[in-house]
Each structure stands twice: as structure tokens, then as C-alpha cells.
Structure 1
Amino acid sequence: MTTPSSPPPADDPPRHEGLRQRAAAVLVFGSSAAVLVVEIVALRLLAPYLGLTLETSTLVIGIALTAIALGSWLGGRVADQVDPHRLIGPALGVSGVVVALTPLLLRTTAEWAPPALLLVAAATLLVPGALLSAVTPLVTKLRLTSLAETGTVVGRLSGVGTFGAIVGTVLTGFVLISRLPVSSILIGLGTLLVIGAALAGWRARRWRRASAVALATVVAGSLATAFAPGGCDAETRYHCARIVADPERSTGRTLVLDGLRHSYVDVEDPTYLRFGYVRAFAAVVDATFATAEPLAAHHIGGGGLTFPRHLAATRPGTRSLVSEIDGGVVRIDREQLNLGASSGIDVRVEDARLGLKRIDADSRDLVVGDAFGGVSVPWHLTTSEALRDVRRVLKDDGLYAANLIDHGRLEFARAEVATLAEVFAYVAVVGTAVDIGLDPAAVPMGGNMVVLASDRPFDAPAIQKALDARETGWKIATGDTVTAWTGDAPVLTDDHAPVDQLLQPHPTRTVR
């Protein structure tokens, strides 16, 4: 009687197959997550130089999507011609080096060669984005061992990649940016990618020299980033923040957010006002309300809290509620700008539009609008719906005063004035004679201007006298002059508020 021979052992039982499947999932998940981390952090790096506008966001998203499409297409073609084992490690390694060097490259270019910034930014997004996106088709090629499982493999890896992109987005937006400087995020991510390249090269038996060179590059770039221009004193959730001492005034401090001067504060003398638009605020309040009369005020946007401090010092008993979206800026106010010395100021870390809804109707004498994202007022604070909330919280004789910045044809400023005219009975504009239509033959230069709105008439001569006393050099326009200046400007609504398109940024750097 013969004994049947045993079947030969199967190559790599499920244990090894499972390892390969998990490795594929890790590679696809990690590379997809890394693409989104780089995209979101790139917005933060570019904001100080290009502004945090819709155009900047669209540019970064467009380049990232181009990189994903290019990498997926090229990765698939190359995977059919070259052993993918040989390509995964280099793709991760080169991506890691570029990602780690991105802060140094962008900040140095922005300071020393600004015209080349867009080109360098595009390269630092395209190269790692395309290489990381190529990992998915490379891994898919390795996993396709049978046509019978094509749908399962492609679908599984596509789902894993999408999930990785979601995790990268959520992790960056809710955790990393609030806890780490953007340069640390990119250097850390670049280091992880280089380590991943070393592990992938180890499996392909070709890792030592290339990985050592890549890791040395990352280390050198990390050290150089510490000395790169454009650094921050603090990375807040929304801004790159710095405090700059005034060499001409020992107690003067300037709060710089994303490269723009947002507030000037004298930490010992809150009555001192450096910026012209803040002096205009003070002049209008001087002329509108009785001298030293305490006010109930709400401030949309805080910054260095210059004007709330001024009201507290000049009008004892004034209660100022401030809506400031960036908790990091509030922390700087407390730790470096002597906020604790001022009384009657309540700062809430909140979106101002939501904060308005929580304020009682007819409870405020004054609402001050001074919120900026980059060089523009956040669009959702400019609409007729938002301004109706402002009117709701104001008393019948209350005043709304807002700071605007625009250039060129002043299309955004005109639209905002037209929107205010839809909500309030009286609207006025304060600025240079050229910009506000008092000298029609001259070409507007643009810059800061203050718009006023109320349901009671303005005392224009009294306001002009106060503007002159504050040495602003500005004029006030009311009535038909404002109507003619506004022209056929559109009314901004929640349904249609193209603020970024209407806004004309200064061709160089806008300074408040």
C-alpha cells in the first residue's frame, strides 16, 4: 500500500501575504496623508508674503491637485516599465528632503528674491506632491498578483489613500498647527519620509548610501532653517506673530502678524496712538459722544487691543467686549503687551460673526470693526446680514466704525459702503481727500480708510474738527458725496460676497 505524497508547502502562507498587505496600506496611507499636510502648511508659509486670501488658497490647492494628478499618472506609467521595488524608496526620500527644506527655501526666497517666490513655491509643492502621489500606483502594481482581485486591490488601496488624506487634513488643522511651528511640522514630516525611504530601501537591499545622504541633507536643512529669515516669535493658530520694539519710543511695541503691522501699543501710555486710522477712530468717538462719557463697546477683532485700551484710559468705566479669533494673539497681549494693566476689557476667543449673535440687542453705544485676515476683512463680516447684526446690538443713537484697506479703484471699499447704506440710515467715509472722492480729478492711492454708519445723522463739522485735532490729515465725506463716490457698487450678501476679487492689494506690501 502506497502512501500518497504530501503536497508541496505553499509559498509564503497568509502570514507573509498579510505583512505585504499591511506594508502596502501603510505606504499608501502615509504618502497620501503627507501630501495634505504639506498643502495645508504651505498656506501658512506663504501667508506672510502673499496674504491669506482666496487667491492664495486657490493657488495652493490647484498646485497640490496638479501634483496629485501628475504623480498618479506618471507613477502608473513608470510602474509598468520599472520594478516598483526600486522606485518607492527614492520617491519617499526625495520627497522628504524637499519637504524638510521647504521652510528654508520659501522664506529665503521671499526675503532675497521675491519675484521667484511663486516659482519656488510651486516647485516645493509639485515635487513632493507628485512623488508621494506616485507611491499609490507603484504599490498597486506590486499588489496586483491576480486579475481576479483587481477590483478589490484597487478599491482597497484607493480607500486607504483617501482615509490617509482625511487624517492628514484633520491632524494638521486641529492638532499640529496649534501645537507646533510650521517649520517643525515640515522638518519632522521630512525626517519621517526619509526614514520610510530607508526602510523601503532596506527591503530592496539598496538603502545605505542614499539614505545617509538624504538624512544628512534633512539635518543640515533643519539647522539652516533656524537661521532663515522671516521667522516668528510665536506660531499662533492663524498667524506668524512677532513683537517689534520701537527704537524711537522705549515703551512702544508693534504687533506684526504674517509680515503686516497690525497694532502699535505703548505698554505704559494707552492714550498714545501711532496709526492714523486708530487716531481717526478716536476723533470720531470724541466728536460723537460726550467727553469722558463711559461707553458700552464691542470690538470686532482685537489685535494688540490698542483702541480698547485707549477707551479704558480716556473714558473710565467703559466696558469693552472684544471678539478675537486667535487665542495665540490674546496670549501675546497678556504676556508681552501688558494687557493686565487695563480694566474693563473682556476678550473672548471666538469668531466675531458668532460673537455678535450672543450680544443682547440695543446694548452697545459703539461697535468697532477692525478684523483682518491678511490684508482684507474676512468676507463673512462684510455682508448685509452681518451688518444687520451690528445694527441689532447698537442702541438707537449708536455708532459703527470700521477700518478698511483697499487700493486701485477701491472696489471693495465702495461695495462695503454700499452695503452699509442698505442697513443704516446714515453712512460716512473718512480718509484722504483723494481716496474718498473729495478730489474727483485725482487718482486714488488707497490704503486705510474708516467707514461710519449710524441711524442718527453725523455732525460732520465736529468730526472734521476732531480729525484735525488728532493730526490725521484726513477728511470726512457724507451725503451726496458718499453716494456719488459709491456709484453702482454691489451690495455684499452671504450669498455673494466676492471680497477677495474686489480687493485690490498694494503692488508691494500693505502696511496698516
Structure 2
Amino acid sequence: MSIEFRSDPYGVTILLDGWPQSHVAPGDPGLLTFEYVHQIALVLDSLPAGRLAVTHVGGGGLTVPRYVHATRPGSPQIVFEPDAALTDAVRDRVPLPRDHRIRVRPMAGAAGVAGLAAASADVLILDAYAAGRVPAELTSAGFAREVRRVLRGAGIVVANLADAPGLAFVRRCAATFAAAGLEPVALLATHDILKGRRFGNAVLVGGAHPDPAALDRGVGRASPPCGIRSGAEVARLLAGVAPFVEGELSPEPPPGLFGR
């Protein structure tokens, strides 16, 4: 696997085998250039103030853990990133801030989550890709049940999922989480993705969100703008959709999507 760092006036983009994986702005962890990362941040910002115990499946440049540290200092965070060479390269090129509580474990996400204590996380963020696709083991019914076990009663799962127009993969992932007791409460994406106009990333939120209205308000003020489906709209998306059992890879991105 090749690791490449491309500098820009604001930070560094990390590419794995040519795929843009993360963007890190060391001097401004609130600068989130990838749309889906900004949407994950909107979900986190809608939760009550204070520390959060966050588990991340997928590490990359550790952009979201840095954001959590900046916005909720002292939050304990566990990151499962199986590529130890990538983690070492990121730490060397864009070191983590001082006094962080981010612990990166060189493990695959499914095995890592299975080893966590029950009710040990407030939020689990799923943002793991291999060659531009979500691994099948992270969309299975068994993994969804492990996520439910690890989350506290009011915990939420936040999943970054790439899909083709129509969002068939996202809908089945949502049904899989629902079957495990993590009822989907919202789906965030740019308006063109929600309307089925192009391939792209959508952020699925499942579980017991304490204040869905706060999330709606945050999305309404978001810049760059994005859309949200919540409540009855999400229920309609799931109508008649069967959950995964063994799990499936997310759809393959169209050629040239990332300008490789």
C-alpha cells in the first residue's frame, strides 16, 4: 500500500493507493474539507455539551478524533485502524495535539469492537474503507449487534456509507442497524446525493439521539449546505427493505470519481 501526503495552504490530504482518505488541518481541527466529515461533526455537535466516550472504526488521518478533542477536551477515544504503517506515518507528518486522550489500536474494526466492554461508548463512528469500499464485515448483522452491545443506552452509531444513486446499500445498512436495536433517526448528505443524482457519501445516524431537533437545526445552519432525512422520512426509506445477514461491500465507486 502506498501512502502519499499532499500539502495545501490549509493542511494535508492523505491518499492511500491514490484514494483520498483524509484531510488534516493541524492548526485548525475545525476545518473539515470533506463533506461527509463535516456532516459527522454536525451530528456530534448536536449532542449535549461535555465529554463523550467515542469509538472510531477507521482511523486514517485521525481527523474526527482531532475534532472531538478540540470541541470536547478530555473525551476518551479509541480508534481501530489496522494499518499501523499509516498511523505511524500520520503521527510523524501531522502529530496529534498535546494532552489528547486518543488511543489508536492496530486492529480491524470488527475484531476491535468485539473486544470492547459492554456499554463503554457514547458514540461509535464507522468510517472505514478499503480501496474506496466499506468492508463487508462492517455491514453484517453480527457487527451491528456488537455495536449495540458496546453503546450505552442513549448511545448512537454514526456511519459514513458510500452508495450509488437510489441509496440501496445505505437503506439495507439502516435496516441492519434497526434489526439490532439501533433504529435509524437521520440520514445526512448533500442534496444531490439525497435526491439520487450521483454516487457519493451519506451519513447514517442510528440509536437513541437525545435531541433530533438540535440536529435538524444544525443542518439548517450548515455551511457548506447539506440535507437531512429524519423521522417519518427515514421510516419510508426502510419500508420493505431487508437487512444484511453476512454483510456486503459497498458499491464500487465510478471510475475517475476521485480524480485518480
TM-score normalised to the size of structure 2?
Answer: 0.92
Q: Which residue of 2 aligns with 1:364?
A: 121
Alignment gaps of 5+ in structure 1: 1-238, 437-441
Distance 1:313 1:471 in 2: 19
Q: Deviations over 1:185-225 (max 9, x none)?
A: xxxxxxxxxxxxxxxxxxxxxxxxxxxxxxxxxxxxxxxxx
SS at match of 1:274: coil
Which is worse superposed, 323-332 or 339-348?
339-348
Aligned partner (choices 39, 55, 64) of residue 307 of structure 1: 64
Q: Which residue of 2 aligns with 1:405?
A: 162
Q: Which residue of 1 aligns with 2:202?
A: 449
Q: Which residue of 2 aligns with 1:339?
A: 96
Distance 1:475 1:277 in 2: 11
Distance 1:382 1:281 in 2: 18
Max Rg structure: 1
Aligned partner (choices 85, 91, 106) of residue 349 of structure 1: 106
Aligned residues: CA RMSD: 1.9
SS at match of 1:482: helix
Distance 1:443 1:366 in 2: 28
**Larger helix proportion, structure 1 or 2?**
1
Distance 1:359 1:472 in 2: 35
1:317 aligns with 2:74: yes
Distance 1:339 1:492 in 2: 37
The structure, 1 or 2, with the larger RCO (C-alpha pairs under 8 Å, 6+ apart) is: 2
Distance 1:342 1:469 in 2: 31
Aligned partner (choices 1, 8, 14) of residue 255 of structure 1: 14
* Residue 260 of structure 1: how far off its partner (Å): 1.4
The alignment-based identity, stated in percent, is 31
8 Å contact 1:460–1:476 — kept in the other structure? no
Q: Which amino acid letter does the alignment assign opposite residue 201 of structure 2?
A: N
1:278 aligns with 2:37: yes
Distance 2:238 2:17 in 1: 31
1:473/1:424 Cα in 2 relative to 1: closer, same or farther (>3 Å)? farther
SS at match of 2:157: strand
Distance 2:126 2:197 in 1: 23
Distance 1:481 1:458 in 2: 18
Q: Which residue of 1 aligns with 2:248?
A: 498
Q: Which amino acid letter does the alignment assign opposite residue 19 of structure 2?
A: L
Alignment of 1:4-19 (within 5 A): none
1:505/1:489 Cα in 2 relative to 1: closer, same or farther (>3 Å)? farther
Q: Which residue of 2 aligns with 1:390?
A: 147
SS at match of 2:46: helix
TM-score normalised to the size of structure 1?
Answer: 0.48
* Residue 353 of structure 1: how far off its partner (Å): 0.7
Q: Which residue of 2 aligns with 1:61?
A: none
Alignment gaps of 5+ in structure 2: none
Q: Which residue of 2 aligns with 1:482?
A: 234
1:462 aligns with 2:221: no
Distance 2:153 2:101 in 1: 23
Distance 1:464 1:429 in 2: 11
Distance 2:87 2:144 in 1: 25
Aligned partner (choices 429, 432, 444) of residue 190 of structure 2: 432
* Residue 426 of structure 1: how far off its partner (Å): 2.6
8 Å contact 1:309–1:342 — kept in the other structure? no
Q: Deviations over 1:34-61 (max 9, x none)?
A: xxxxxxxxxxxxxxxxxxxxxxxxxxxx
* Residue 276 of structure 1: how far off its partner (Å): 1.4
**Larger strand proportion, structure 1 or 2?**
2
1:262/1:475 Cα in 2 relative to 1: closer, same or farther (>3 Å)? same
SS at match of 1:435: helix
Q: Which residue of 1 aligns with 2:134?
A: 377
1:406/1:458 Cα in 2 relative to 1: closer, same or farther (>3 Å)? farther
8 Å contact 2:82–2:107 — kept in the other structure? yes
8 Å contact 1:368–1:400 — kept in the other structure? yes
| Runs of 4+ deviating beyond 6 Å | none
* Residue 480 of structure 1: how far off its partner (Å): 2.6
Q: Which amino acid letter does the alignment assign opposite residue 33 of structure 2?
A: R
